[in-house]
Amino acid sequence: MAIRVLDFGQVGSLRSLAIFHGVAYALREEHPDVITLTRPSDPFVSIGHHQDARTEVDLDYCAEAQIPVYRREVGGGAVYLDGGQTFWHTIFHRRRVPTRLEEVYEKFLAGPVLALNRMGIPAVHRPVNDIQVEGRKIGGTGAATIGEAMVVAGSLLFDFNYELMVKVLRVPSEKFRDKLYDTMREYLTTIGRELGDAAPPREEAERILVECFAETLGEELVFDEPRPDELAEIARQEERIASAEWLHLDGLPASGAGVKVAEGVHVREGMFKAPGGLVRATTAVRDGVIIGIVLSGDFFMEPAEARQELQDALVGVAFRPDDVLRAAKSVLERVDAPGLDAADVTAAVLADQPA
């Protein structure tokens, strides 16, 4: 079967996020695989599947600036998005893709990398999921299983609003915000910054991208229109993604490290920067035993439900390094979490434990 290309053009921010979720949930094994293209007409903030919105995003600022915040089912970090980008998503049935995330990225990032090179940008794929130009990142990518589909998400980054990106994020101080801005300007680039006046028009860049996907995947690509069942699922996803329940998934509220909430019960917060991303742990401990825990961060984990399984495995475990490590290992040795292991989770859980 030829791969379908669905070009939705410019759509509202909510719909731009709902499209790839809806197409993925509608995909069945007998259906052709799909590549979607969209660009948002208005700005928004997208947080990763495993992140906590209150911790990562300045929700008050976003509300004042009328910038909506939505959670996606793909991992990674919080990011400001607007019309300076074209989003692409490869939506393939999971039986037709590799099982390991590293191999998934190798397969599906080859097209965007080739496209950037065809435009005159010497981009390379740096494992696990970065596309870089001489050490600078050019657009973000991520992958997740959604329904029966493996989705790889990315963008053609024509322009980027660094100022708004640092404003929407929750940071400890204005000095930190200034440093974050400088760091982003240095290590995050765009097609416009790389090529200047030589940058191709958006339509030409998108055409090059589709051609490169066809070349690297070795398949025929055919432009198509969305099916009625896909449109219906996209509408359902719009309603879900816009809900407060989806944005604020159930979990322990952030309460500060070492806060006593009842006799013998403390809520502790810790974090650890693993190679695969930042891990945050909010842990309720009673009489030396974990009675509740929420893990969040910008890491990737497949399947996504493994995070809940990991949290469940840690409940009832003694709040000691060996016990936490053993419980975390029992789950993580069976899931795909690039750059994240049981020692990283243990370090986050015990980060604020007194010596």
Q: Is residue 334 part of a domain?
A: yes
Structural domain boundaries enclosing 242 = 3-247
Q: Are strands 3-11 and 221-223 parallel, antiparallel or unpaired?
A: parallel
Domain assignment present for residue 323? The answer is yes
What average pLDDT does the segment 208-225 reach? 98
What does the pLDDT look like over 21-63, one tens digit per residue? 999 999 999 999 999 999 999 999 999 999 999 999 999 999 9
Q: Please state the pTM of the whole predicted model.
A: 0.90
Residue at a domain's end among 194, 226, 247: 247
Contacts 24+ apart (CB under 8 A), 202-208: 202/39, 202/86, 202/156, 202/158, 205/86, 205/115, 205/119, 205/156, 205/158, 206/7, 206/37, 206/86, 206/156, 208/115, 208/118, 208/119
- Domain shared by 269 and 295, yes or no: yes
> Is residue 355 included in any domain, yes or no?
no
CATH classification of the domain holding 310? 3.30.390.50
Q: What is the pLDDT of residue 235?
A: 98
Q: First and final CA of the chain: distance in angstroms?
A: 60
- The partner residues of 270 in beta bridges, in order of sequence, read 281
The pLDDT assigned to 260 comes to 47
* Confidence bin at 253 (pLDDT 50/70/90): very low
| In the block, residue with structure tokens 């079967």 | 1
Q: What six digits make up the tokens of 122?
A: 């010497």
Residues 202 and 299 in one domain: no
Instruction: Give the pLDDT score at 264.
Output: 67
Burial classification of residue 157, based on how many CB atoms lie within 10 Å of its CB (0-12 exposed, 13-18 middle, 19 or more buried): buried
Instruction: Give yes or no: residues 133 and 8 share one domain.
Output: yes
| Average of per-residue pLDDT across 250-255 | 47
pLDDT at 255: 40
pLDDT in tens, 286-300: 999 999 999 999 999
